Amino acid sequence: MDKDTISVNKLKLHRNPYLNTRVRVMGSKLIAKSEYPKLLKMTSSEISHFLEEGEYKAQIDEFAVRYDGSDLIEVALNTNASKCFNKVAYLSKGDTQTLIRQYLLRIDIANIKIILRSFNSDIAEDEVTLKLMSGCSMKKKDLLQLLKKKTISDIVEDPIFKKILPYAKLSIPKQENDKLTLASVENWLDISYYRHLIALADNLPRHASEFKKFLRNEIDLLNINTLLIMKKEGLEKKDIMPLMILPAADISLSVLESAASAKDIEEALDILIRKTSYSVELKSGKEQAIEGSLKIIRRELDKRLMRKAFLLLHKHPLSIAPVLGYILAKEVEVRNLKLISRAKSLKLPETFIEENLIL
């Protein structure tokens, strides 16, 4: 870690059988893998009916008077997930609650990115609102207030934005004209968030080792994605390395520096394929990446990470791992259902959905 990393006190994660029991019950209500082939054959209205018969009934019933089709499904999924995540945080106590709330800041960050990206698109405000999910620190009214802003700078200067990562020591880099860019703010959010999580993870007790390992794997993937995006844009090592987050799990500083120094994205991929454990995923999309698309690599890396997340659900029943495993599994369920719903509304082929599902 470098001088910009914030220091935190040792955390005490007391075992909480009640929390773990409740989370295990919540996990048992996740949609079974065997149900997805059936969902692929359904229309949007049939999917809504399927969700209404299960854990999403309250949200489908609440929003059916205002929305239909994929919009109804999306807002119901977001509202239900927010309710579940806040329930987990509420049931936890002490340092366990602190860790969970800090972990769930990723939802607030995802919301901020959605709002920031809407400035560069023609998406209507109502459509952006559908995609937002209330987090643990930012409520829907906070997000709607940010959505009213006109520029990136307006958002960054708002007190609501500043309370997301109050511990961040890094300043957001600006262009020569003293303007903030979408990329610089997004990178700042990711780096500040993960550096703080690393500091927390380094102060967790031994029985939280599975979570620490998962977090570093997640950072590996973020570093790979960022590095490949930068190489695709033709950027050099001096521009890339400040965006890397360390320490990670499998990719050392020297490997990152070597890949960042590569003359092009093909050479960077060759280095990462040779010197990391992600060779299978990187090889699967190498040809497309050289041609300019990182979609396949991102998809395969995401699938690998989420498979690890599912394993957390069954690790050490009284540790923090199953709790965080549930949060990740719920995220995957929501992502999969949104994918199916949107793909159906756009009349995309079933093969596209199958390739992108994380099961």
Over 70: is that where the pLDDT of 59 sits? yes
Query: Highest mean pLDDT range out of 78-92, 150-164, 166-180?
Result: 78-92
Q: Where are the alpha helices (DSSP H) in 202-293?
A: 209-232, 237-240, 253-260, 265-275, 279-284, 286-290
Over 60: is that where the pLDDT of 1 sits? no
- Cβ atoms of 278 and 250 closer than 8 Å: yes
What residues have CB less than 8 Å from 154, skipping those under 6 apart?
none
What residues have CB less than 8 Å from 260, skipping those under 6 apart?
227, 230, 231, 236, 237, 240, 241, 244, 268
pLDDT tens track for 326-341 = 898 899 999 999 999 9
Question: What pLDDT is stored for residue 3 in this prediction?
Answer: 41
Question: What pLDDT is stored for residue 134 in this prediction?
Answer: 79
62 or 162, higher pLDDT:
62
CATH code for the structural domain at 205-319: 1.20.1690
- Among the listed ranges 102-106, 165-169, 346-350, which one has the minimum average pLDDT value? 165-169
% of the chain with per-residue pLDDT over 70: 91
What residues have CB less than 8 Å from 310, skipping those under 6 apart?
325, 328, 329, 332
| 288 phi, psi to nearest 5 deg | -70, -35
Over 70: is that where the pLDDT of 245 sits? yes
Question: What pLDDT is stored for residue 274 in this prediction?
Answer: 95
Question: What pLDDT is stored for residue 175 in this prediction?
Answer: 61
Question: What pLDDT is stored for residue 35 in this prediction?
Answer: 94
Tokens linked to 173: 């880099």
Average pLDDT over residues 46-58: 94
Instruction: Compute the distance between CA of residue 70 and CA of residue 342 in angstroms, rounded to an integer.
Output: 6
The torsion region of residue 339 among left (phi > 0), alpha (psi -120 to 50) and beta comes to alpha
Residues of the chain with CATH 1.20.1690: 205-319
- Among the listed ranges 129-143, 156-170, 247-261, which one has the minimum average pLDDT value? 156-170
254 or 250, higher pLDDT:
254
- Cβ atoms of 44 and 70 closer than 8 Å: yes
Rounded to whole angstroms, what are the CA distances from 248 to 45, 252, 337?
43, 7, 30
282 or 14, higher pLDDT:
282
- Among the listed ranges 130-139, 234-243, 311-320, which one has the minimum average pLDDT value? 311-320
Question: What pLDDT is stored for residue 180 in this prediction?
Answer: 79
pLDDT tens track for 274-308 = 999 999 999 999 999 999 889 999 999 988 888 88
Alpha-carbon dihedral sign for residues 287, 349, 308, 138:
positive
Question: What pLDDT is stored for residue 2 in this prediction?
Answer: 44
Question: What pLDDT is stored for residue 220 in this prediction?
Answer: 92
- Cβ atoms of 187 and 243 closer than 8 Å: yes
Question: Residues in the chain, how many?
Answer: 359
Question: What pLDDT is stored for residue 5 in this prediction?
Answer: 44
Number of neighbours of residue 282 by Cβ within 10 angstroms: 22
pTM of the model: 0.84
Residue closest to 243 by CA, chosen among 195, 290, 187, 309: 187
Chain centroid to CA 84: 16
Over 80: is that where the pLDDT of 79 sits? yes
Our CA dihedral for 224, 98, 327, 72, rounded to 10 degrees, sits at -100
Question: What pLDDT is stored for residue 167 in this prediction?
Answer: 65
Tokens linked to 303: 């699938």
pLDDT tens track for 101-140 = 888 999 999 999 999 888 877 778 888 888 888 776 788 8
Number of neighbours of residue 153 by Cβ within 10 angstroms: 15
Give the mean pLDDT of the chain.
Answer: 86
Question: What pLDDT is stored for residue 122 in this prediction?
Answer: 76
